[in-house]
Structure 1
Amino acid sequence: MGKNIPLLEIDEVKITIIMDNTTDAFMTSNEIVHRFDISKGPLISNDGFSTIVAEHGFSAMIQVKCGNKQGAVLYDTGVSPGGTLHNMSVMGINVNDMQAIILSHGHLDHTTGLPELIDKLGPHQIPLILHPDALLERKVIMPGGYETNVSAPKLTDLQQDKIVFVKKIDPTLLVDDMILVSGQVDRTTDFETGFPIHYTKRNGQWENDPLVLDDQCVIVNVRGRGLVVITGCCHAGVINSIRYAQALTHCQQVYTVLGGFHLTGGIFEKIIPETIAELQKINPTYLMPGHCTGWSAIHQIAQAMPEAFIPNNVGTTLVFQADR
């Protein structure tokens, strides 16, 4: 990949984890890591759920600022119809403040909240950034033959009228060139070989689809610090995703990597050592693995790179500012 995407270096990025697999009401904050303050309200919200809920899904708000320019996007929408909306309401986040919605890929744990989020949109259409494969039917066939549907939800005609589909394989710049959606990630490592039990329906026929080519990450470049790479599930592989971000931007300095690294389960745990070895070579200042990274990988990353490691938690906001 020889592209040189003109991604603007920014003054500040705030990344808020709206939905993820874990919640801990008593995590402490620091200058960079801001945890949701449970003292601001009751432990049980008006809808009867916990103030902040966790589920096997992912959603993040990404806010950027450069000079007098600023904006925000929503990256993924969680695994339940209302979980992400619930947490957004508790955190005071309005979906109508988003300039775009981005889907990391088309699996249900990243897309099921989309219809209800669209229903909350105002009269102005909002771009939905996704790979052309993202809305195809998907399933996983377990070793014993059990099949699980992992497809994204169907949108009604009214819901489709409230968004503008931006289906692209190539990268997309958003918010005055301050946010980059990677598009389809080049696969360059020899150990990140995909999800062998994954299938996609094309032209009415199911076919084995281990690569999940619709997987895409989000990239920002904090001035003087380097790249911040946000991943949803990382079916492309976290090392492939970082390398692709470096290649797209012609920036080798990686400041932070966060999100799902897809290293959980027997298929992927065997590549944890190689992944950590490459992460150590890349040497990001911060790492916050979450969602599908898995207990074993998270603990091994924490042990191998303790100074970089940040524990993940729903409601966490990371604030990264330019080097003054």
Structure 2
Amino acid sequence: MTIPLAEIDEARITIIIDNNIDFLIPSTGVVRRFEQPSDWYNRPLPRAEHGFSALISLKRNGNEGTVLLDTGASADGVQHNFEALEIDIARIQAIILSHGHFDHAMGLARIVDKIGNQNLKIVLHPDVYLQRKAVFPNGKEVPVSIPPEMSIRREDVEIVENTGPMTLLDGSLLVSGEIPRTTDFEKGFPIHYAKREDVWQHDPLIMDDQCIILRVKGKGLVIVTGCGHAGIINTIRYAQELTGVSQVYALIGGFHLTGGLFEKIIPATIAELEKISPRYIMPGHCTGWSAVHRISEALPDAFITSSVGTTLIL
């Protein structure tokens, strides 16, 4: 199945929440970095947290559209960073949740209130509502779901539940929906569990994981992931399959390669990334120190350091 995805003239991806922030990285080429103001002591500064949020703006035939992918790990982080970065949030037309983990959704309620747009859409997979936990080999259990007291369903916005691919912004932006698992090394999150019908079940695949896909005229696909639980190579392959476009122009977001559970698949992932050869690659959030540095070594001309406040102009 191929989804018609309109070509856009320009995409701007701004990192609102990420695990890393660096005020001293210079702007280069397509990368615009946050510049610390001279009066920084009199104003709020953006901050990092273990989470992800990206503002995605596009231009097509003189028209503009803007969505927000994910809303970070804290109740106020996204709102704080929008204010610190002096970004107008009133133009946000939709919020897309990449999946139902706390570090991608905790800022949702506050930012929806702040936007105050009666036409706002929230796009999510129905599994977002599930209770989730990670069960470590030592028996320790850590909740990773969105807290049940934080209501996602609201009367003042339109909730759009999707399991399959869907387009937004007049066919200019594609939300992948569930991503098929096709590689032999991306096996999901082995210590992950979800509660279905009051029964905890092993849930390594996290099927609600989805990405955003854009197609920049004459350049190729821009793929933005929240955590990449589906596997970053599975995600890229599905984006190529959905659109019928093989060229990957930019790859941005979390690749979930951090920690001992994923260390062993870093070489296979990098080998495939080298074959795909994206023009730009900016791994962040849960990609992890080891994977980020090995990607930077394998793809030095494409690699961009992720940092809160960074904007890619593509």
Query: What band does the TM-score fall into relative to the shorter chain?
Result: over 0.9
1:142 and 2:136 correspond? yes
Say which of 202, 207, 218 aligns to 1:213. 207
Aligned mate of 2:17, from 16, 19, 24: 19
Could you tell me which of 126, 129, 135 is aligned with 2:123?
129
Question: Counterpart amino acid of 1:13?
Answer: A
Q: 1:123 to 1:301 in 2, by over 3 A?
A: closer
1:46-195 to structure 2, matched below 5 A, reads 46=44, 51-122=45-116, 124-154=118-148, 160-195=154-189
| Structure 1 unmatched runs, 5+ | none
Contact 2:99–2:128 (Cα < 8 Å) also in 1 = yes
What amino acid is the match of 2:27?
S
Q: 2: distance between equivalents of 1:157 and 1:79?
A: 15
Q: Which runs of 5+ in 2 are unaligned?
A: none
Shift of 1:121: 3.1
**1:121 touches 1:162 (CA, 8 Å); kept in 2?**
no
Q: TM-score, normalised by structure 2?
A: 0.97
Show CA shifts across 1:11-52 (max 9, x none): 000000000000111110023000011126414635xxxx01
Match of 2:247 in 1: 253
In structure 2, what is the Cα distance between the partners aligned to 1:248 and 1:36?
34
Matches within 5 A, 1:276-291: 276-291=270-285
Partners of 1:40 and 1:27 in 2: CA distance: 16
- Residues 162-214 of structure 1, C-alpha deviations (whole Å, 9 max, x = no match): 22111111111011111111000011000000001001111111100000000
Identical columns (%): 53
Q: RMSD over aligned Cα, in angstroms?
A: 1.4
1:125, distance to aligned residue in structure 2 (A) = 3.6
Q: Which amino acid aligns with 2:31?
A: V
TM-score when scaled to structure 1? 0.94
Cα distance in structure 1, aligned partners of 2:38 and 2:3: 42
The change in CA–CA distance for 1:92 and 1:186 in structure 2 (over 3 A counts) is same
Contact 1:115 1:153 in 2 (8 A): no
Q: Is the 8 A contact 1:77 1:112 kept in 2?
A: yes
| 2:29 partner letter | E
1:234-273 residue pairs with structure 2 within 5 A? 234-273=228-267
Aligned ranges 1:191-206 → 2 under 5 Å? 191-206=185-200
Structure 2 matches for 1:307-318, cutoff 5 A? 307-318=301-312
**C-alpha distance in 2, partners of 1:249/1:58?**
25
